[in-house]
Amino acid sequence: MQAPTKSILRIEDMWAGYDGEAVLEDIQFEMFTGDYVGIIGPNGGGKTTLIKVILGLLPVMRGSVSVLGQSPVQARDRLGYVPQVSRTDRDFPISVWDVVRMGREKAGFFGVRSLSAQDKQAIERALGQADVLDLAKRSFNELSGGQRQRVLIARALATNPEILVLDEPTANVDGQSTARLYDLLAELNQSLSILLVSHDLMAISTHVKTIACVNRKMVYHNEKVLTQEMMDLGYECPVELLAHGVPHRVLAHHDHDHLSSNISHKQENNQDV
Amino acid sequence: MFNTLAEIFSYEFMQNALLAGVLVSLVSGIIGTLVVLNRMVGISGGIAHAAYGGVGIASYFGFDPVLGAVLFSLLSSVTMGVAHRKLRERSDTMIGVMWAVGMATGIIFVSLTPGYRANLMSYLFGSILAVSKEDIWWMAGIALATVLFVALFYRQLLAISFDEEFATVRNLPVTVLSVLLLIMTGLTVVVAMRVVGLIMVIALLTIPSAIASMFFKEMRVIMLVAVGLGVVFISAGLVISFLSNLPAAAVIILLAGLVYFLAFVIKRILLKTKI
């Protein structure tokens, strides 16, 4: 069990969606400094919507969200956002250095501001942390998926964030690069709180400290991931499980035979329970 | 050769045309690069055609058609931009509708306009050879505004074009700059209208920056190369059109299209030999 310290993200009775239609219902969630939360759930289950709410990109329909004691819009520049690689334009003409430099652009007008020594240092440090310093002069669009993902992490780090928020960091990334990414995140977690969203339960299960499941509703107990069984359940978010209401223990009252067919296509690791 | 060129450009209308060509290249090379990177080609096509509504209405009521085009293209660019942001994929349809409605409005008002109307066709197909000193002045004004816009906001524009969500999270002025970009696109359309006509505006906006982005990997370099290519296409097109007595706008666009396909093939070959 992890000793919670300071609350950095608090979501209460939150509903959110698009065009008046809720994608997320009655979400309760809290995160503390030093946490490394993996949010899993099926595609279309509302993971990206949740991220948009936290980043202040989507107003909630009901309930409240507090990020670092402020509203999401007020707090968003203190978050390091790492979008999915596939959301960026594959052919966009830009160098790695210029991508990471975006993390130092300031609010307000006039892009003529030249790079201060401090900015330069922050960019170089971020590039180094994400292990892409040697790629700085390369063109972003000639990198592999894993390399581009690390560049986007470097861009988020250049903002000196208090929480790192990642959307599907391993989509379009091959197996070996995925392992490398998680090593990097584990290292960053020593000084940063991390919130990570993925549809890929098996890939994140061994890396995160705690796991939450989103599929319209959310199940989260601020607990360390313990068993394969719990992850299987979490991935599927079966309706009857959610019907118990929150909070409850995902693992305690369920056997998992009815789910086994769904996990066969999942990742190769962790099958050896 | 030089004698011929000297002779061609000894005419005042050719000098004006060349000057207009340089200004148009400046504007459309810079804004066109942003239009291509922000996937606004459809919108700018819509703006161009909707602007004809302004030409028609202005000429019917006896105003300067250019003024009508400016007002209509600003109006339609902001409307289409808002529609694009709100409706996303479905904005396609709306852009298509405004495209056609603007055109139809223009045609109706032009047909209602009494008297000599032939010069109104020039807004559709371009009239670079009829550019006046006065035209040069407002073109220069818009060119200056374009250069200032991009010089001042280059970093922010780059960030927004690359990843709007991240730019929003960083609290960059995404909405303001997006609207400004739409306004600049509208003005670019009007400047380019004078040279190649509303129907071929898209070509002038997209082809130079498309060619430049095949070979260069930095936005500002692409902008500069696109401007250069625009100058080459327009001045070479002018010369060819003068010598062959063919319509300048069509020659310019054909030339640009030809170079585009050549560049495409060269790029392919370069990629193959690399591997």
- What integer pLDDT is reported at residue B229 of this predicted model? 97
Chain A residues whose beta carbon lies within 8 Å of the beta carbon of residue B151: 112
pLDDT number for residue A264:
38
Q: What is the pLDDT of residues A13-32, one digit of tens each?
A: 999 999 889 999 999 999 99
The residues spanned by each domain of chain A are 7-89+163-263
> In sequence order, what are the residues at sequence separation of 6 or more whose Cβ sits closer than 8 angstroms to the Cβ of residue A91?
A141, B213
Whether B187 has a pLDDT exceeding 80, the answer reads: yes
pLDDT for the residue numbered A198? 85
CATH of domain A7-89+163-263: 3.40.50.300
pLDDT band at B16; cut points 50, 70, 90: very high
On chain B, the residues whose CB falls within 8 A of the CB of A155 are 166
Q: Sketch the domain layout of chain B as residue ranges.
A: 20-274
What's the rounded Cα separation, in Å, for the pair B211 and B229? Answer: 9
Asked whether the beta carbons of residue A111 and residue B157 sit closer than 8 angstroms, the reply is yes
Contacts 24+ apart (CB under 8 A), A23-27: A23/A49, A23/A216, A24/A49, A24/A50, A24/A53, A24/A214, A24/A216, A24/A217, A24/A218, A25/A216, A25/A217, A26/A63, A26/A217, A27/A63, A27/A214, A27/A217, A27/A218
What is the arrangement of strands in the sheet containing A210-215, beginning at the earlier edge strand? A79-82, A163-167, A193-198, A36-40, A210-215, A217-224
Considering only residues A54 and B79, tell me which one the structure prediction assigns the higher pLDDT. Answer: A54
Instruction: Give residue B87's pLDDT.
Output: 73
Among left, alpha and beta (phi > 0; psi -120 to 50; other), residue B42 is alpha
| A107:B172 CB<8 A | yes
The chain B residue lying nearest A139, using CA atoms, is: B217
Q: In this predicted structure, what is the pLDDT of residue A127?
A: 96
Nearest in space to A82 (alpha carbons), one of A173, A163, A180:
A163
Distance from C-alpha of A48 to C-alpha of A62, rounded to nearest angstrom:
18
CB contacts of A19 in chain B (<8 Å) are: none
| Contact residues for A95 (Cβ-Cβ < 8 A; gap 6+) | A136, A137, A138, A139, A140, B217, B218
**CATH superfamily of the domain spanning B20-274:** ABC transporter involved in vitamin B12 uptake, BtuC (1.10.3470.10)
Q: Between residues 6 and 25 of chain B, which touch chain A (CB distance below 8 Å)?
A: none
Query: Which residue is closest to B171 within chain A, CA to CA?
Result: A107
DSSP characters for A215-237?
A: ESEEEEEEEE---HHHHHHHHH-
pLDDT digits (tens, 9 = 90+) for A21-79: 999 999 999 999 999 998 888 788 888 999 999 999 999 999 999 999 999 999 999 99
Q: Which amino acid is at B98?
A: M
- State the pLDDT at residue A113: 65
CA distances from A120 to A98, B52, B222 (A): 11, 49, 25
Q: Model confidence at B194, in pLDDT bands (50, 70, 90)?
A: confident
Could you tell me the mean pLDDT of each successive run of 10 residues in chain A, 273 residues long? 73 92 91 91 86 95 94 94 84 93 78 78 95 94 91 95 93 83 91 89 76 82 54 48 37 40 38 34
**Distance between CA atoms of residues A43 and B67, nearest Å:** 50
B87-137 pLDDT, tens digit each: 766 778 888 888 899 999 999 998 898 876 667 778 888 888 888 898 899
Whole-angstrom distance, CA of residue A123 vs CA of residue B153: 20
Q: Which of A98, A109, A113 sits opposite B173 (nearest CB)?
A: A109
Distance CA B263, CA A21 (A): 48
For residue A144, the distance in angstroms to the closest alpha carbon of chain B comes to: 16
Contact flag A110-B218 (C-beta cutoff 8 Å): no
Q: What is the three-class DSSP state of A192?
A: coil
Q: Which residues between 163 and 182 in chain B have a beta carbon less than 8 angstroms from any beta carbon of chain A?
A: 163, 165-173
Yes or no, beta carbons of A112 and B213 under 8 Å apart: no
| Bridge partners of residue A62, in order along the sequence | A15
Closest CA to B150 of B82, B234, B222, B43: B222
Flag if B165 and A55 touch (Cβ within 8 Å): yes
**Per-residue pLDDT tens for B150-178?**
999 999 999 999 999 999 999 999 989 99
How confident is the model at residue A267, as a pLDDT? 38
CB contacts of B157 in chain A (<8 Å) are 111
